[in-house]
Amino acid sequence: MSDIRRRLPPTKTSSEEKALPPVQDDHTAKVVKDVRVTEIPEKPKTRKRRTTAIFLLGSLFGIIAAGFFAKSSDLIDLPELGEFSVNSLLDALPAGLIADMRDFVKGERDFVDSYEAFAVGLQARAEGLEAHHPMIMVPGVISTGLESWGTTNISRPYFRKRLWGSWSMMQALVLDKDNWKRHIMLDKQTGLDPPDIKLRAAQGFDATDFFITGYWIWNKIFENLASIGYDPTNSFTAAYDWRLSYPNLEVRDQYFTRLKSYVETAHELSGKKVVLVSHSMGGQVVFYFFHWVASAMGGRGGNDWVERHVEAWINVSGCMLGAVKDLTAVLSGEMRDTAQLNTFAVYGLEKFLSKEERAELFRAMPGISSMLPLGGNAVWGNGTWAPDDRPGQNFTYGNLLNFRQGMNWTLPERNLTAEDAIEYLFNTTEPWYQDQVKRSYSQGVAHTQAEVDANEQDARKWMNPLETRLPLAPNLKIYCFYGVGKPTERSYFYRQPEFQPFTNLNITIDTALTEGDVDHGVVMGEGDGTVNLLSTGYMCNYGWHVKRYNPAGSKITVVEMPHEPDRFNPRGGPKTADHVDILGRQNLNELILRVAAGKGDTISDHVVSNIREYAEKVKIYEEEDSPGGMGNMHP
């Protein structure tokens, strides 16, 4: 089968190497009619440095890896960690790593100081906007802190301390790694709490405003909502334990029952329907909730529940069709962030959490596997084609996992498409992992109305918008706000691991390969730096215009936000479109306030990427159409 392997692309000239098509030079704030854009005054700029995004999947080594990308080692004080002193941390970590971690913290503090708080909200209030709809925020995978509530001997030192999303996490990871792993991993057989361990999602606004001291997540949105009249009486954060599979969120924590109650109570007390705001994985959680709440197998609210209670769903950076990097995380514990580290950084990271350990951790968090790529080859392409292949490109993104020829390695016989790669994942991982994922999720496509209707009775399908429909809510408004223009990992080259007898991994990213479009074994495509454009944009621009996926005709509004970062700002500044940092973007906050204040009808579509061109090439059609076209359903 070697004839179907593709060869390495030749090295391109500088004129050919264009990671992304040009983006129109047009400020996205124009989508809001009659709204003035107030520039946030700049304060002295912080020094330039490189930093990696906190890993999409709640990567348990995100902060460590971020430190490796810093370029300065200026010494500053680290926050105290209880009895854990800075000196003991210095003893435990390589000197270069701790210096870079200090630099990371300093950069974050400088950014917080330089970003004027409340500016967007105060401007909106001056223009007459005020709180109208109750607001419920559903965070993404890294946003919610997890704290220990166990009282056994192994848990008492961490009682009510956050073992994810705080400096307590760093303390436990560095000085008590094995015990930390016991706490953070779910039981492999049940997908619930291991014996004698009890970790729960922190609650309230404190659960999601900051990841660690200085690294804000939702804080900018909270500040601006407060400026037009929001507080804990008319806004709420629906935090959840993102490690759990979606069915187990209800089994263990009754999460969806509580969310239903929050929505109903807010609606009853205010007399106004609720606005749901989700970020990243939170978009899948909200979509699953819409099915659960209506179903007789779930909340028993009936098909009109969403129509009666929900005014709008703001879907920010929603990974509606999963993320390519999720596949590599659970397959080999790797992604671009780790593949492109330098030699010293790789050594330091492997000393803390090896690839094998990371893969085990990710697999023991079934919630993360909800973001495996959805839609198979129809969406992501095959061995000769992908919808987002660019003109003149001498390879295809359709091969998600690639293998070099002639290396005398024991590897799959051919390159692997999305469907092949997921099949390979299930064929090479432990039975407990396969069971957890297969009984919780489905990655397929429903090509007929009859399939969509039948899937309402199959809870595994509820998180997949290509197998189930939007709620029967004709007055529901859906706003898709996401970033574009930031290179995002799209496919990979893999090889046989070194020292294979000493690892359980079958393959690992070929980090030695840098040639043409391949950088340390990673091939980049389009997206927001974390989630691919096909995932954030396909359903919003096209899929939900196919009748079987949106039978009630809910209105979809799309605003794409070009990535225009301030190069001297560690978080990109008010025009960033990075997957996480977009939550602090100026005009995203303006748009959220517009919807909250009941002025969402003033927002118009603004699409600057090629997503609609790509969407037309996806092999999903209206039922009466031939594969040659999509009829007249394009918006």
DSSP letter for each residue of 451-485: HHHHHTT-GGGTT-TTTSPPPS-TT-EEEEEEEES
Structural tokens at position 574: 């008010």
* CA 578 vs CA 4, 65, 243, 390, 478: distances in Å: 36, 18, 23, 22, 21
CA distance 545 to 540: 8
Per-residue model confidence (pLDDT) at position 540: 98
Per-residue model confidence (pLDDT) at position 166: 83
Per-residue model confidence (pLDDT) at position 152: 95
Cβ atoms 572, 220 nearer than 8 A: no
CA distance 393 to 402: 16
Per-residue model confidence (pLDDT) at position 16: 36
Cβ atoms 170, 183 nearer than 8 A: no
| Catalytic site positions | 280, 528, 579
Whole-prediction pTM: 0.83
Those residues of the chain that have pLDDT short of 50 are: 1-93, 111-114, 626, 628-635
Supply angle C-alpha 335, 337, 343, rounded to 5: 110
Per-residue model confidence (pLDDT) at position 45: 38
CB atoms closer than 10 angstroms to residue 598: 16
Residue 368 backbone zone (phi > 0: left; psi -120 to 50: alpha; other: beta): alpha
Per-residue model confidence (pLDDT) at position 362: 94
3-state secondary structure of 484: strand
Per-residue model confidence (pLDDT) at position 106: 53
CA distance 302 to 308: 10
Across-strand partners of 532?
A: 527
CA distance 317 to 484: 10
**Radius of gyration (Cα) for the chain, nearest Å?**
23
Tokens 């959680």 correspond to 285
**N-to-C CA span, the chain:** 41
What's the one-letter identity of residue 148? S
Tokens 């393959």 correspond to 507
- How far is C-alpha 586 from the geometric centre of its chain's CA atoms? 20
CB atoms closer than 10 angstroms to residue 300: 12
